[in-house]
Amino acid sequence: MRAEIRKKEWAPTRELLPLILGQESAKDLSQKETAKLELFEKGLKKEIKPGDSIEAAIGKLVRLALAAEFGPSLVTAQGAGPMIATITRAIMADPQLKKQALIIIDRLEHE
């Protein structure tokens, strides 16, 4: 018998896009979640430049999101580059994810 691996679609536990866009109250977030979100936003404001290509900007978004969620040691570890590139390519290939990423980048770039 072959072992079957069921493909299960990842479903985030919380919709962060409305929080980032300021459309939903952040009062339901824990202090730890709020700190991570603030770290992510500050990092994006510093890193994203108007001359960045879409792929470069999304790559920075991925790197900063991983650093905010799991710590900066993850993105500096050996092998992190290919992981970030794979996630970036996946976002670039999915129209909905790409649109969400661009909304976040645009909002934070123009603040």
Is residue 44 included in any domain, yes or no? no
Is residue 96 included in any domain, yes or no? yes
Of 15-24, 28-37, 81-90, 100-109, the range with the highest mean pLDDT is 81-90
Q: Is 106 left (phi over 0), alpha (psi -120 to 50) or beta?
A: alpha
Is residue 38 included in any domain, yes or no? no
Contact 66, 84 (CB under 8 A): yes
How far is the C-alpha of 65 from the C-alpha of 9, rounded, in Å? 20
How far is the C-alpha of 29 from the C-alpha of 5, rounded, in Å? 34
Is residue 17 included in any domain, yes or no? no
- In this prediction, residues 75-79 reach a mean pLDDT of 89
Is residue 14 included in any domain, yes or no? no
Expressed as residue numbers, the domain containing 57 is 51-111
Is residue 30 included in any domain, yes or no? no
- Alpha-carbon distances, residue 70 vs 19, 29, 36, 41 (angstroms): 19, 17, 9, 15
Is residue 40 included in any domain, yes or no? no
Can you give the pLDDT at residue 107? 80
pTM of the full structure:
0.72
Is residue 36 included in any domain, yes or no? no
Question: Structural domain tally of the chain?
Answer: 1
